[in-house]
Amino acid sequence: MEQQRLKSRAEIPEATKWRLEDIFSSNDQWEKEFAHVEKLLGEGGKFEGHLADNSDTLIACFEWMDDLSLRIEEIYSYARMRRDEDNRMANYQALTERAGALAVKVSSAASFVVPELLAMSEGRLEEFRATAPKLEHYNHALEDIMRKKEHILSSTEEKLLAQVGELAEAPGAIFSMANNADLRFPSIENELGQTVELTKGNYIQFMESPKQGVRQAAFETLYRTYEKQRNTWAATLNASIKSDVFYAKARNYPSAIEASLDDDRVPLKVYDSLVDTVHEFLPQMHRYVQLRKKALRLNELHMYDIYVPIIPETTMTITYEDAKNMVLEGLRPLGRDYTQILEEGFHKKWIDVYENEGKTSGAYSWGTYRSHPYVLLNHQDTLDSMFTLAHEMGHSLHTFFSNRAQPHLYAGYKIFVAEVASTLNEALVMEDLLDKTKDPKILAYLINHYLEQFRGTIFRQTMFAEFEKKIHSVVEEGGALTADNLSEIYRDLNAVYYGTDVILDPEIALEWARIPHFYNAFYVYKYATGFSAAIAFARAILDEGEPAVARYIEFLSSGSSDYPIELLRKAGVNMETPIPVRNALQVFAGLVERLETLLA
């Protein structure tokens, strides 16, 4: 049989590609803006050493910084998204490298500002704020700077740290290029006996195959490929962790995790409470694993059997057009304003839909303040891909509402709340499907999928979070991270989270090697907290209607105008207690029981 292959970028229909020309009409325009930013860098000299002179100078400096930030955001986003279209394109590799280097220069050029503000007497700053109404715009930003006083270094040291920034990004950049541009997987046979090239994009599709042999082949082929460079992956991840630890020590934090959490002003107890609460509900996770083993009629449940739908005969094929319609229907409870913007995103080339050779794997939402948001997908005509569309458009509409309501300074929302909008969309779409589905087999299939969202977003991401905390502790305590001990730590966590009813195939111990989020440390726990907050919002929207929608849209529109914990609290969700996580996991327990009844 003829082997299926990935299409080249040129073979992808134009209608399913995003339109990055909405940021820069051409590479030449990008070059002009690049040159303009290089000139703007020099203007910092007239502010350095003079911020305490008068309020006009301080305001002018803030406006210069904001202008620089807005422009470098566009320069970097355009270059990186162009590169993501096909990572093998040398010209866009070069543009991304140049944009990254320029971003470091921007950071370095403005690195004097925070130390100077901290050196200014509180009386002088208060005098400025009392006499210059324009400074009111910067109140929250100034408060955020002043609270970090003990972690800000001298102007010279801040410049040095800013210049080191490019080196600190190297492990993530090396991983990305190796993982996306250089790594190729062998071909395997699909259910029809066709030879198909395994890719990161179609891996999960293979893992959902009704044939265990296909799942096993995909699983073993993927990890054997990563195994060939296991020591390289370990060295790269180790370097990334050392970078995290270096920055935490340089900024006088007790640990890398506390340095990371402080950016959102999230107490460490929120992180630890998440792990503890999830551990409370691990018996429910193990119950779900037992149900999976029984429903699949397997004598042995392997790690490659974790993703396959429990109800294989109801496998749903969902085209991209179908996916858009399902998402739109599911999100109607959010109101006409929301769904009109959603439709605009579908029709005005916000989205890059299909996988092609060299394209970055996975999915994300990005964009700039002056452009509309963008979404990168690798759509596979599956239910999972439909939910990915809902998820990423949640991010994009969060960005849209925030950009519309907030000035650039406060438009970018913090990562802690970033996953709320995306997972709320998934929850509402799922609730719509569960409400409309009458066929018990399809209903069981959907409940299984919903359980998988809980497993993947709360249990799995919390396991990742626990792994990150453990491996950072090893380095902070003077230990070394090798492929062997990374794999041992990861394997042991899988044993705790999945229980005794699943066989821990040796390959799973290497899964850490392929997770890109580990290069953005202490990020993944926010998927779990965000999912929990999203379930709380979804229940309120479906139960209360318009008042809850109004609170939610206000939350989406708030950007980073306050600390994320406070924004959620104002909207009715208190993440400083274990209640949202516990309530979400009680929904999980109820779904397990419901599925047990359907399958009895």
Catalytic positions, written as ranges: 392
Instruction: Please choose, from the candidates 59, 34, 61, 32, the residue with its C-alpha nearest in 3D space to the C-alpha of residue 46.
Output: 61
**Burial bucket for residue 31 (CB in 10 Å: 0-12, 13-18, 19+):** middle
Distant-in-sequence, close-in-space partners of 405: CB < 8 Å, separation ≥ 6? 557, 558, 559
Strands (E), 136-253: 187-189, 195-197
The strand pair at 301-302 and 195-197 is best described as: unpaired
The 3-state secondary structure of 445-474 reads: HHHHHHHHHHHHHHHHHHHHHHHHHHHHHH
* Angle subtended by helix axes 122-131 and 139-147, to nearest 10: 170
- Is residue 550 within 8 Å of 570, Cβ to Cβ? no
Contact 581, 273 (CB under 8 A): yes
Dist. CA 215–CA 272, nearest whole Å: 35
CA distance 469 to 458: 16
Helices 460-476 & 230-250 angle (0-180, nearest 10): 70
Residue type, 77: S
At residue 112, the 3 state secondary structure works out as coil
Whole-number Å distance between alpha carbons of 273 and 270:
5
Decide: 258 and 271 in contact? Cβ < 8 Å.
no
CA dist 590 to 284, 582, 586, Å? Answer: 10, 12, 6
Specify whether the CB–CB gap between 459 and 526 falls below 8 A. Answer: no
Packing angle of the helix pair 155-168, 90-109 (nearest 10 deg): 170
What is the Cβ-side half-sphere exposure of residue 301, based on CA atoms within 13 angstroms? 20
